[in-house]
Amino acid sequence: MKKYFIFSCLAVLCMAFASCEDDKELPAWPWGNGETDEPGDTATVVESKPRYVWIDAAANFEDYANSRENIAADLAKIKETGFTDVIVDVRPSLGDVLFSSTVADPLTRVDAWADAGYVWLERTADFDYLQAFIDEGHKLGLRVNASINTFAGGYLCPYGLGSDGMLFRDADKKDWATVINAADGLVNTMDLLDDTSDYGAKFMNPANDDVQAFVLQLLRDLAKYNLDGIVLDRCRYDDYGLMSDFSDVSRAKFEEYIGETVPNFPADIMAPGTEELPAEADQPAYFKKWLEFRAKVIHDFMVDARDAIKSVNDTIRFGAYVGAWYSTYYTSGVNWASPKYDTAAHYPEWATEDYHTYGYADHTDFMFLGAYASTSSIYGSGEWTMQGFCEQGRELLQGDVPFAGGPDVGNSTGWTEGGQAALIPDAIDACITASDGFFVFDLCHIKMYDYWDAFKTGFDEYLSTLVVNE
């Protein structure tokens, strides 16, 4: 699952200053950045693929929360480096938002490591955070996409700092939170408040109708902005994986789905405390059907989310970020593949014959695959190499949707201490060649480790391959 190890980023981020390239406007279609170099009479320029940089809200909060000037300066640097798109996180794990919403509270603080230690960083500015990125990005010819942490609703901090977010502030919404099938019984995650072991995002139950209605309204509000795209992050079940969600709501919906009562809930679905795939001989009667049901919940929500956005502005592209490790992503309740991909033929140990039906790729306009392999696994085949993740992604998506794969250059093995500039052109090559684009998580790491030149070199090398001599 995707982790945001943001603390180290915020302590040492430096301000980036740069001039911008020309202000030519980019086309609306996502897969091409409008390169207009004149190749002459003996060469043809092949349309280039988009290059995205993710801008996590919490990890970059110190620089951007109160400074439109910092936003403008760094976007200019992003443009100069060769990126074509930004993905701006506007709803981090706290669940509050950095855009105007009719249902969610504005984000006013995040927990972070700063010069003063581990503290709350406050937002006191009143400018519209998302609109600032849109205005400044579009001036430069960058496309601006917004992302939200879809089913996150609060955050419990470690080290005694406290907690914040809707689920913590509104006791009436406790039944929105995930209920896990823990080893010692069913428990609502809002009762797990040990900040030495249970800290992190508190998730809402994706199967809860009230939760879905809330998030769909968030998306309608977001679609009112002049965005190029909206990306759903963490549109999945809780970080507890297979243990979530076993609420009364989920039980009732599952039983309705299968048309029968589960006589011994939850044991007939999953033994308490199950965190890993049981051997097939040890799987309870409803185990695989339950995994299918969870994939259906997320699939159906994706359909509704697309409809909600398009009902407001049908020109906004709709997509999702997912981890590229498909072989184990079922633990998050997500089938991001094409419904044409026969999951059961490849993964019979956990997929039913109908599991493929709930692949949602055909309901998206673009997708982002986290090819989060280590520095020693850039090229290769299969999962857990960057190239392999992307190549497998193409098979899984079956041409239903264009996709961009890319690395995490701050948290994956080998990347955590920086000093890997020489590997970035290879990471770009491995991912962009096997994908329809490239994306990188996260901007804070590019700034922290001063990878600007490395990315520019990698992009320039890629663009140089697009001039094909006739």
The backbone torsions φ and ψ at residue 37, rounded to the nearest 5 degrees and listed phi first, read -60, 140
Q: What does pLDDT average to over the chain?
A: 92
Domains of the chain: 7-469 (3.20.20.80)
Q: pLDDT tens track of the chain, all 470 residues? A: 333 334 334 333 333 323 333 333 333 334 444 443 444 445 566 789 999 999 999 999 999 999 999 999 999 999 999 999 999 999 999 999 999 999 999 999 999 888 889 999 999 999 999 999 999 999 999 999 999 999 999 999 999 999 999 999 999 999 999 999 999 999 999 999 999 999 999 999 999 999 999 999 999 999 999 999 999 999 999 999 999 999 999 999 999 999 999 999 999 999 999 999 999 999 999 999 999 999 999 999 999 999 999 999 999 999 999 999 999 999 999 999 999 999 999 999 999 999 999 999 999 999 999 999 999 999 999 899 999 999 999 999 999 999 999 999 999 999 999 999 999 999 999 999 999 999 999 999 999 999 999 999 999 999 999 976 44
pLDDT, position 6: 40
Q: What's the helix, strand, coil split of the chain in %, to 5?
A: 35, 20, 45
Q: Judge if pTM exceeds 0.85.
A: yes
Cα–Cα distance for residue pair 229/85, rounded to 1 Å: 10
| Bridge partner residues of 44 (DSSP) | 468
The SS3 of residue 368 is: strand
Residue 58 gets which letter from DSSP?
A: T
In 3D, which of 251, 25, 50, 30 has the Cα closest to residue 141?
25
In 3D, which of 59, 213, 48, 243 has the Cα closest to residue 147?
59
Asked if 456 contacts 81 with a C-beta cutoff of 8 angstroms, the reply is yes
- What residues contact residue 391 under an 8 Å CB cut-off, 6+ apart? 381, 434
> Over the stretch 201-251, which tens digit does the pLDDT of each residue have?
999 999 999 999 999 999 999 999 999 999 999 999 999 999 999 999 999
